[in-house]
RNA sequence: GGAGGAGUCGGAUAAUGGUUAUUCCAACGGCUUGCUAAGCCGUGCCGCGCAAGCGGCCUGUGGGUUCGAAUCCCACCUCCUCCGCCA
């Protein structure tokens, strides 16, 4: 949510920002509703003032007759009040719903574009892995080594699920350990959050209407299953305030993530690249507005250093305005090179959501002068476990069908190669 | 899942339908005075006004009853106790 004062003072900027993000919203209508709402509120407050005054008179009334007289007058006043009240409520609802539709403003540095086609490749890092043979698709290798079983998963759960098995499981634990270890060194607090959260928290994080079909909802319990642990870690401090000296507050979370993948029928149907359920290690940070761009750079640098530690070829993408999503003001993705498929695929994403979520969640900090301000909130992927395992399998595959384990993971796995044991 | 109880400021607390929601502690800001320091005042949100000031909202949340609700009623949320179930 944006600050209405900001919208009043900068309607042009807000119009441009929404347009750049491809969000169709009538700012003039909002401002009109806002004006009418304010006027009505003033009238309503005046009415209430009259009522409050009359109530005092009732208390001080000398006798019953005098009392009754004032009460009768009040009842009449109330009839007009009810009409005004209803009118205000209607207007207020309209105002609120319009406010919720306005996306966060993109930074000026964000490339302007319509959709993912217009995203900018910032840099390619580490040369693409070279092979003296034709590299295979990860599923071909994983099935031979019995690391991933999607056939039985289909039998038990349906499409887009998988069993992770044997060394792949130990690889997962190793990746979790590595990510948490690196982040903790940078001051991140480890957390395993709930994966079921209330609708108002999901809403405040900015994932409702447009992405509705993407999220699992448990009707009986009125709870959402998180699509990423960010949705659960962000609201952790709702209705709280930080002392400035305690910021930034950084978390490194691990959770399973759930996605309905409603809009992706027929896309990536094989394997575990796009599944309904996957595990992810995620960074989250609360900081002052002055430091949020630096914090964003830190998150990106941690993501890159993790990829470098694994020696995986990747590129960094500067996400364009049309592909940003509502809460983000700036977003970088990392895409890993998958030689078995001869293409880059998204692994990481880090967003600076500025105060967009903080305003709805009411998360503030007290600055040096004792003034309360909204914090800035940022998130970034550390490891999407499944996709990293895919990347390791494809980039570390050997001609004999075995897989080397990245050196940095070997101290956790206890083995350096995954081979087919008859 | 069943039964019962509770939610008032950062913490602790009073107010059971009617003045401006009480008091203590803590923290912060300001003021005063030379006693080992102490005392006093202030400290939520929104709006109108150049200003002095004025008004509205705030007892977990949202409704309802009433001229008037922290107080009565309904729903929801959270916590506690007991029973049942349970890794």
pLDDT number for residue A269: 81
Strand, coil or helix: A297 = helix
Place of tokens 């009842």: A75
C-alpha torsion angle, residues A323, A329, A330, A334 (rounded to 10): -50
How many angstroms is C1' of B73 away from CA of A45? 27
Q: What is the pLDDT of residues A66-112, one digit of tens each?
A: 777 777 777 777 777 777 888 888 888 889 889 988 999 999 999 99
CA A284 → C1' B63, Å?
Answer: 37
Protein A44 CA to nucleic acid B48 C1', in Å? 13
- Å separating the CA of residue A185 from the C1' of nucleotide B30: 43
Nucleotide nearest to A74 (CA to C1'): B67
- Give me the interface pTM, i.e. the ipTM: 0.82
A53 touches strand B (CB under 7 A): yes
Q: Where are the domains of chain A?
A: 4-101, 116-418
Question: Whose C1' is closest to the CA of A47: which nucleotide?
Answer: B56
Instruction: Please report how the helices A27-60 and A64-101 are oriented relative to each other, as an axis angle in degrees rounded to 10.
Output: 160
Spanning CA of A1 to C1' of B51, the rounded length in angstroms is: 34
Chain B nucleotides reached by a protein CB under 7 Å: 18-20, 28-29, 45, 47-48, 55-57, 67-68, 77
Q: Maximum Cα–Cα distance for chain A, whole Å?
A: 104
Dihedral pair phi/psi, residue A257, rounded to 5° = -120, 145
**Cis before A226? omega within 30:** no
Residues 6+ apart with CB under 8 A from A149: A143, A162, A163, A165
Q: Which residue has the tokens 């304010």?
A: A38
Q: Which residues contact A217 (CB under 8 A, 6 or more apart)?
A: A223, A224, A225
Which pLDDT score, from 0 to 100, does residue A209 have?
A: 59
Indicate yes or no: strand B within 7 A of the C-beta of A45.
yes
Distance of CA A132 to the CA centre of its chain: 41
| Domain A4-101 CATH class label | mainly alpha
Return the CATH superfamily for domain A116-418. Answer: Bira Bifunctional Protein; Domain 2 (3.30.930.10)
A38 touches strand B (CB under 7 A): yes
> Distance (Å) from CA A49 to C1' B11?
34
User: At a CB cut-off of 8 Å and minimum separation 6, what does A336 contact?
Assistant: A307, A312, A313, A314, A344, A345, A347, A387, A388, A391
Residues 356-375 of A with CB under 7 A from strand B: 370, 372
- Whether CB of A239 is under 7 Å from strand B: the answer is no
* A217: three-class secondary structure by DSSP: strand
Query: How far, in Å, CA of A182 to CA of A304, rounded?
Result: 12
CA of A369 to C1' of B30 (A): 14
Which nucleotide lies closest to A42 by the C1' atom and the CA atom?
Answer: B47
Structure tokens at A150: 């999607």
- Of all nucleotides, the one whose C1′ comes closest to residue A73's CA is B67
Cβ of A59 less than 7 A from strand B: yes
Give start and end residues of each alpha helix (H) in A145-222: 150-157, 167-185, 199-204
Summarised one tens digit per residue, pLDDT across range A150-163 is 999 999 999 999 99
pTM: 0.91
CA to C1' distance (Å), from A268 to B72: 60
Q: Which nucleotide is nearest to A52 (CA to C1')?
A: B68
Q: Which nucleotide is closest, CA of A71 to its C1'? A: B67
Tokens of A271: 């394997």
Per-residue pLDDT of chain A (422 residues; tens, 9 = 90+): 898 989 999 999 999 999 999 999 999 999 999 999 988 888 888 888 888 888 777 776 666 777 777 777 777 777 777 778 888 888 888 898 899 889 999 999 999 999 999 999 988 877 888 899 999 999 999 999 999 999 999 999 999 999 999 999 999 999 999 999 999 999 999 999 999 998 888 888 876 556 677 889 888 888 899 999 999 999 988 888 888 888 899 999 999 999 998 877 777 888 999 999 999 999 999 999 999 999 999 999 999 999 999 999 999 999 999 999 999 999 999 999 999 999 999 999 999 999 999 988 888 887 776 677 889 999 999 999 999 999 999 999 999 999 999 999 999 999 999 998 76
Q: What's chain A's length in residues?
A: 422
Chain-centre distance for alpha carbon A400: 41
* Per-residue buried b or exposed e for A297-315, using 16+ beta carbons within 10 Å of the residue's own CB: ebbbebbbebbeebebbbb
């Amino acid at each position: 949510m944006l600050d209405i004062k900001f919208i009043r003072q900068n309607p042009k900027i807000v119009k441009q920002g929404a347009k750049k993000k491809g969000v169709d919203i009538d700012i003039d209508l909002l401002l009109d509703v806002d004006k009418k709402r304010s006027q009505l509120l003033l009238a309503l407050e005046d009415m209430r003032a009259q009522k409050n005054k009359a109530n005092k008179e009732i208390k001080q009334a000398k006798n019953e007759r005098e009392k009754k007289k004032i009460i009768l007058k009040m009842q009449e006043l109330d009839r007009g009040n009810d009409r005004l009240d209803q009118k205000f409520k209607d207007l207020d609802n309209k105002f609120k719903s319009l406010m919720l539709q306005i996306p966060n403003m993109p930074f000026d540095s964000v490339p302007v574009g319509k959709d993912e086609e217009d995203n900018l490749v910032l840099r390619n890092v580490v040369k693409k892995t070279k092979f003296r043979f034709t590299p295979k698709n990860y599923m071909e290798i994983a099935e031979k080594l019995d690391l991933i079983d999607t056939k039985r998963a289909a039998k038990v759960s349906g499409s887009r699920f998988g069993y992770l098995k044997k060394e792949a499981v130990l690889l997962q634990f190793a990746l979790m350990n590595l990510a948490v270890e690196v982040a903790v060194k940078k001051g991140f607090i480890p957390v395993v959050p709930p994966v079921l959260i209330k609708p108002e928290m999901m809403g405040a994080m900015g994932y409702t209407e447009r992405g509705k079909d993407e999220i699992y909802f448990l009707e009986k319990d009125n709870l959402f299953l998180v699509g990423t642990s960010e949705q659960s870690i962000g609201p952790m401090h709702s209705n709280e305030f930080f002392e400035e000296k305690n910021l930034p507050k950084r978390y490194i979370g691990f959770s399973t993530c759930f996605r309905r993948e409603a809009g992706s029928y027929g896309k990536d149907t094989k394997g575990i690249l796009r599944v309904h359920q996957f595990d992810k290690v995620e960074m989250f940070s609360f900081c002052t507005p002055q430091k949020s761009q630096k914090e964003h750079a830190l998150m990106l640098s941690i993501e890159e250093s993790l990829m470098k530690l694994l020696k995986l070829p990747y590129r960094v993408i500067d996400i364009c305005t049309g592909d940003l999503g509502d809460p983000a003001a700036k977003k970088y993705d990392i895409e890993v090179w998958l030689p078995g498929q001869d293409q880059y695929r998204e692994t990481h994403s880090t967003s600076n959501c500025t105060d967009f979520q903080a305003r709805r969640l009411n998360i503030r900090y007290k600055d040096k002068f004792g003034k309360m301000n909204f914090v800035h909130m940022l998130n970034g992927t550390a490891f999407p476990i499944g996709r990293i395992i895919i990347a390791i399998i494809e980039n570390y595959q050997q001609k004999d069908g075995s897989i080397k384990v990245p050196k940095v993971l070997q101290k956790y796995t206890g083995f350096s190669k995954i081979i087919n044991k008859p």
